[in-house]
Amino acid sequence: MDSTTLHDHYGFSHKQRQIHRNFIKNCKPATAHFNILHRVTVGLSALHQQLLIQQNKVMSPHVAPVTGRNFVQPFQILARRYRVLYKIGEGSFCQAVCAEDLYYLERRLVAIKIMAPKFNAIGMQECKTLRYLNKHDNNDNTNIVKLINTFMVGKHFCLVVDYYQGGTPKLPRIVNEQYRLQVLRKLTCQLLTALMYIRHMGILHADLKLDNIICTTANTLELRVVDFGNAMSLDEIRDYFETFEVQTLAYRAPEVLMGLPFGFEIDMWSFGCIVCELWLGHPIFYSSSKQGMIREIVQLLGPFPNSIYANGKFFAKYNVRSDLISMNLNGNDKNMADVLRTKRLSKVLKTNDSNFISFINHIFEYDPSKRPTPFECLLHPFLASLFPFALYA
């Protein structure tokens, strides 16, 4: 191509020049199709804006609960790596979103827990706990959520964990009792595996509830224990001996309700509540108040033993009626109380399976020192079909 070719438009006639000027005047500059950088940046930006507008028509913006501001939006990129897809849920401490991890070629979904700024310390504590637990889980078989990453977005501390699509576990309803019990056994063993590991590592979860038990996929019984935001070590337990504000109320152990020093045993009480809820489809104890919870527990399991709970910080406050406490029982009186308790459990659980009733009765032991450990639960005859050695324990 020579200079003549490049400048041949100067040879236009007057009419041709007029047409050319009018054409240029009335046309917008064309996008250069050969400019890859321009097309990638401007083109994707325009596409992003278009998709965002369309998405906002059908999805309300995600609102940070503390500030009340729009914070994360669908398709927003966080930490230059995670594309937000949709909101999973939110609470007073944080909101959780499902996002796509763009670091991988194949599609990989993660869950991002975005802390409200004034609760960042809770997120950082959860990060510390998960790193500690994950670090020593060499075989990845403890049924505990995996921490992937952490980062800051503005003033918000964020935790990235594995995303599980199965939701909270549910037992099949239209099947015979023995099949449902066998499914329950499999779920129970996984929870006990997680609790045994957590206890071995010196950690209390302190907020075990069905909402914090998630199936990895929709068509599996494989479980993960999530949300370690309230977890604590043995050294940190004393920090709660003033208020005793620990555990969700429906899963709260009686020693916490009464204001007694507590330990690993409170997780086992919550575990018992979860197993019953899986079986029944609703919480076995439920009330909107602490005193109401105490009455719910006493109605099913009988009065609290005076010898254990009389020294509780809140004992005098809640025990306004004598039927909530019992003196030390001996001989025939104790045997009769145990028989009545077993009958009430059988009626509430709607089953006559003696091993299942015995299993739950054992877990709901009022005396924390006699409440079984996760390992002792695995040895119970109720789980013998999965662990035959339980028969010889």
Residues annotated as catalytic (active site), given as ranges: 207
Q: State which amino acid sits at residue 152.
A: M
**Strand, coil or helix: 266:** helix
Tokens of 139: 């075989």
d(CA 344, CA 347): 5
Strand-pair partners of 146: none
In terms of C-beta density within 10 A (0-12 exposed, 13-18 middle, 19 or more buried), how is residue 175 classed?
exposed
Query: How many CB atoms sit inside 10 A of residue 111's CB?
Result: 20
23: Cβ contacts below 8 Å, ≥ 6 apart: none
86: Cβ contacts below 8 Å, ≥ 6 apart: 59, 74, 97, 98
Q: State which amino acid sits at residue 256.
A: V
Task: Count CA atoms within 13 Å of residue 250 on its CB side.
Answer: 14
Strand ranges (E), 75-194: 77-78, 82-90, 94-101, 109-115, 147-153, 156-162
Closest CA to 296 of 336, 246, 261, 250: 250
